[in-house]
Each structure stands twice: as C-alpha cells, then as structure tokens.
Amino acid sequence: MSEDENTNIGRIWIRVGSTEVDLTGSAREVNDSWLKLKDQDTWASALSKIRAARQDAIEAARQSLSEAGVPERGSAFRRLLENCNIYRTGDVILAAIHYLRSVEKEEDTPPRAVKKLIADSGRWDEVELEKWNLSLYINRMLDDSSARGKPALLTYPEGREKNRYVILTDAGRDYLERLSS
C-alpha cells in the first residue's frame, strides 16, 4: 500500500472477558462496524457484566475494609469532630480541609470535596450544606486579620492561589489543637 492509503486505515481492538473485537479497515468501515457492534446484544451484555463486576469489586472492598476495622471516611471524620468538640461551621470547614490534607493526603481539595466529606459525616444533610458558603468561609480564614489581632488560619501554597489548594497555617493547626483540648 502507498503511504496515502495507510493514513486512512483505522483499527479498533478490544478484549472483554472471552469476547474479542478486532475491526480493521478504512476509517469509515471501522466506524460503521463499530456502530453495528455497539447495537448488538452481546456488546450491551458485556458492558453490563463489566459494570456489575465493578460494583461487586467496590462492595467487596468496602466489606473488607469494614471487617478489617477501617472506618469509612465519613464516620472517621464524624468521630474526629465529636472527639474534638468541633461544631461551629467555620471550625468544621477548617477541620475538613485539615482532614483531607493531612489524613487523606489530598493536594487538590475543591469546596465540593470539602462539602462531600462533611456530608459523609452524617451530621448535616445536603440541604443544610447547600446553605453553607464554603468559599466565603475559606476567604475569611485566608485574610490576615491582624487588625483584629488574629492570624490567618489558611494560606495558599506557592503558585496556587485558588481555594481548592488552601492549606492550614501554623495558626490554623494551633487553633484546631486548642479546640480539641
């Protein structure tokens, strides 16, 4: 074949369990074959089996963690809040950021991830959490409120000035430490 003919050749090769799909030909032929294959019951059945196997694996992992005594993330965070007597909204948000950064070692913690962790604790439902303006709380904790005699509790790491990257300052960690005493 000439070089021009090779550039229009397409191939799709997929293996799902014992089913193997190998489509080769012109881009149009491969596309047409793929569309026909996707509509067949065997393909839909294979995808359904993959989804079911994935759910089974997730459930098995959850059960294994539970049997091993590893708490679910929401219940572990809830215990942290209760043991440290953290109840005020701003304090809960600060604790959630600390938990995600220090315990789960997350580097990117957008407000929705913070909200999800708080919701997973079971102490507040989604409706209540929708009323929380996390960005406002985060911005207030970022402000150097030295005029009020209070240091900032959060800061941005170098080069990352978005709320999703905030980290606790030493003052923020000290503040949480005082709350838990």
Question: Which is more confident, 100 or 74?
Answer: 100
Answer yes or no: pTM beyond 0.85: no
Cα angle, residue 70 at apex, residues 66 and 75 outer, rounded to 5°: 90
| pLDDT mean over 61-66 | 64
Mean pLDDT of 99-104: 86
Domains of the chain in start order, with CATH, are: 3-67 (no CATH), 73-180 (1.10.10)
- Mean predicted confidence (pLDDT) in 109-118: 90
Q: What CA–CA distance (Å, rounded) separates 29 from 27?
A: 6
- If you average pLDDT over every residue of the chain, what do you get? 79
Q: Looking at the predicted structure, is the pLDDT value of residue 96 above 90?
A: yes
Span 123-171, pLDDT tens digits: 888 888 899 999 899 988 887 655 567 788 898 888 887 888 898 888 8
Could you tell me the CA-to-CA distances from 98 to 2, 6, 134 in Å, in that order? Answer: 61, 55, 14
- Of 25-34, 109-118, 154-163, which has the strongest mean pLDDT? 109-118
How many angstroms separate the CA atoms of 146 and 151, rounded? 6
User: For position 95, what pLDDT does the model report?
Assistant: 92
In the DSSP assignment, the letter for residue 24 is E
**pLDDT for position 25:** 85
Give backbone dihedrals phi and psi of 166, rounded to 5 degrees, phi first: -60, 150
Answer whether residue 20 shows pLDDT above 80.
no
CA 163/CA 110 separation, integer angstroms: 7
> 140 near 90, Cβ under 8 Å?
yes
Taking 80 as the threshold, does the pLDDT of residue 19 lie above it?
no
**Would you place residue 75 in the very low, low, confident or very high pLDDT band (cuts 50, 70, 90)?**
confident
